[in-house]
Amino acid sequence: MTQADEREGVWLTQSKYDELQAELEHLRGPGRTEVVEKVSQARDEGDLKENGGYHAAREELGKLDGRITQLVEMLKTAQVGETPPDDGVVEPGMLVTIRFVGDTENEAPFLLGAREMADEGTEVFSPQSPLGEAINGRSKGDEVSYPAPNGSMIKVEIIDAVPYAG
């Protein structure tokens, strides 16, 4: 994803945006306070070179700060909208099912959108990915091609596109 694509942000429903905003507020407030207290308590235990609790607490604080930074950027650039209409047109927020042309048996369902929108186990493709760009705006029944990382073209058929209810 290029920097320009990242600035476009991710598509989120209003409820998911609100949920992520609440997570951010918790992490910035009581969540961070709790981890900072762990660091402080571990520091008071003495020799920091051999203090595993201190190093673990510092690592936890680093992960928390990373998540805060990720949420701030995501929410700042998010495109908030309602669930798309059930009209068979592929757009962010749709559960899309494709089949690779030539493979009549295997279908691949995925969410076109942000991984934060998906339930665990749901595969997600960004609208800015090669596949996402190729299918965005296309309709059920269309065949499209997109470039693979090795430069060859991959052809897929859009089997279905319905609003994601996850």
Task: Report pLDDT digits (tens) over 133-148.
Answer: 999 999 999 999 999 9
Checking if the pLDDT of 130 tops 80, the result is yes
pLDDT (average), residues 107-133: 89
For the chain, what's the residue count? 166
Could you tell me if 70 and 10 lie in one domain?
Answer: yes
CATH of the domain at 133: 3.10.50.30
Residue 3 has pLDDT above 70, yes or no: no
As a whole number of angstroms, the distance between CA 116 and CA 51 comes to 35
Percent of the chain at pLDDT > 70 equals 92
| Same domain? 98 vs 35 | no
pLDDT of residue 8: 60
Report if residue 142 sits inside a domain: yes
Work out the number of other CB atoms within 10 angstroms of the CB of residue 126: 21
State which residues form the domain around 126: 94-163
Domain membership of residue 55 (yes or no) is yes
Residues 51 and 106 in one domain: no
Residues 7 and 55 in one domain: yes
Q: What is the mean pLDDT of the chain?
A: 87
Per-residue tokens: 31? 């969540």
Whole-prediction pTM value?
0.67
Count: domains in the chain: 2
Whichever domain contains 38, its CATH number is: 1.10.287.180
Do 133 and 74 reside in the same domain of the chain?
A: no
Is 88 a domain residue? no
**Phi, psi dihedrals of residue 98, rounded to the nearest 5°:** -120, 165
What is the band of 1 on the pLDDT scale with cuts at 50, 70, 90?
very low
* Within a domain: 87: no
| pLDDT score recorded for residue 42 | 83
Q: Which residues contact 165 (CB under 8 A, 6 or more apart)?
A: 83, 95
Tell me which of 49, 81, 113 is where a domain ends. Answer: 81
